[in-house]
Structure 1
Amino acid sequence: MGRWEPNTPGRLAEAALELYSERGYEQTTVAEIAKRAGLTERTFFRHYADKREVLFSGSGDLEKLIVRAVADAPEGAAPIDAVALGLDAVSEFFADRRDFARRRQAVITANAELQERELIKLASLSAALADTLRRRGVTEPAASLAAEAGVAVFKVGFERWIDAAENAEGRDMAQLVREALTEFRAVAAGR
Structure 2
Amino acid sequence: MARWAPDTRERLRAAALELFAERGFDATTVPDIVERAGLTRRTFFRHFSDKREVFFGDDEIPALAASTVAAAPADAAPFAIAWAGFHRLAADRFEPRRAQMQAARRFIASEPALRERDLQKQADLRDALRDGYLARGVDVFTARVTAGVAVELLQIALERWLADETGAALTEHLAAVRAGMSDALADA
Pair in the same fold by TM > 0.5: yes
Instruction: Give the whole-Å Cα distance in 1 for the aligned partners of 2:153 and 2:21.
Output: 27
How many Å apart are 1:5 and its aligned residue? 7.5
Distance 1:175 1:140 in 2: 31
In structure 2, give the amino acid aligned to 1:76.
Answer: D
Where do 1:5-154 residues align within 5 Å? 6=5, 7-58=7-58, 60-92=59-91, 93-154=93-154
Residues 1:174 and 2:171 are matched in the alignment: yes
Instruction: Please tell me whether the aligned partners of residues 3 and 39 of structure 2 are also in contact (alpha carbons under 8 angstroms).
Output: no
**Structure 1 pair 70/3, CA: closer, same or farther in 2 (3 Å)?**
closer
Tell me, in whole angstroms, the C-alpha distance in 2 between the residues paired with 1:3 and 1:153. 40
> TM-score of the superposition, structure 2-length normalised?
0.90
Deviations 1:18-64 (A, max 9, x none): 11122211111111111111223343234322211222221x22223
Residue 159 (structure 1) shift: 0.4
Q: Residue 127 of structure 1 contacts residue 147 of structure 1 at CA under 8 Å; is this kept in 2?
A: yes
Alignment correspondent of 1:156: 156
More helix by share: 2
CA RMSD of aligned residues (A): 1.8
- Name the SS of the counterpart of 1:95 in structure 2: helix
Residue 183 (structure 2) aligned to one of 172, 183, 186: 186
Of 3-12 and 45-54, more deviation after overlay is shown by 3-12
CA change 1:38–1:185 in 2 (3 A) is same
Aligned-partner Cα distance in 2 for 1:81–1:46: 34
Cα drift, residue 131 of structure 1: 0.7
- SS class of match (1:100): helix
Question: Cα distance 1:76–1:189, how it changes in 2: closer, same or farther (>3 A)?
Answer: farther
Counterpart-to-counterpart distance in 2, 1:187 and 1:72: 31
Q: Percent identity?
A: 35
Question: Contact between 1:73 and 1:85, CA under 8 Å: does it hold in 2?
Answer: no
Alignment size in residue pairs = 186
Any conservation in 2 of the 1:66–1:89 contact (CA below 8 Å)?
no
Question: Which consecutive unaligned segments of at least 5 residues does structure 1 have?
Answer: none
Instruction: Assess if the C-alpha contact under 8 Å between 1:63 and 1:128 holds in 2.
Output: yes
State how far apart, in whole Å, the 1-side matches of 2:2 and 2:97 are. 28
Unaligned runs of 5+ in 2: none
User: Following the alignment from structure 2 to structure 1, what is the Cα–Cα distance between the partners of residues 64 and 45?
Assistant: 26
Alignment partners' CA distance in 2, 1:161 and 1:80: 21
SS of match in other structure, 2:140: coil
